[in-house]
Amino acid sequence: MIIFGGSMIINDQNQQSTPQRTNDLWQWTDIHTNIWTMIHVNGTKPEPRK
């Protein structure tokens, strides 16, 4: 469910990022990877709550 929501948000931002320059797209790619990594880590290895 979290991945699906993230995908929808990424798609929304991607459309707005389309008219931007190549440099901006590159930066967006970096952010995209970071977000996916965070979601993946959180989903795969959730921290135990005390």
Note the pLDDT of residue 30.
Answer: 63
Note the pLDDT of residue 5.
Answer: 46
Residue type at 47? E
Q: CA–CA separation, 10 vs 50, rounded Å?
A: 32
Walking along the chain (50 residues) 10 residues at a time, the average pLDDT comes out as 49 52 58 60 58
Q: CA–CA separation, 50 vs 38, rounded Å?
A: 21
**Segments making up each domain of the chain, as ranges:** 2-39
> 26: alpha, beta or left, given left = phi > 0 and alpha = psi -120 to 50?
alpha
Give pLDDT tens digits for 8-18: 555 555 555 45
Closest CA to 27 of 40, 13, 44: 13
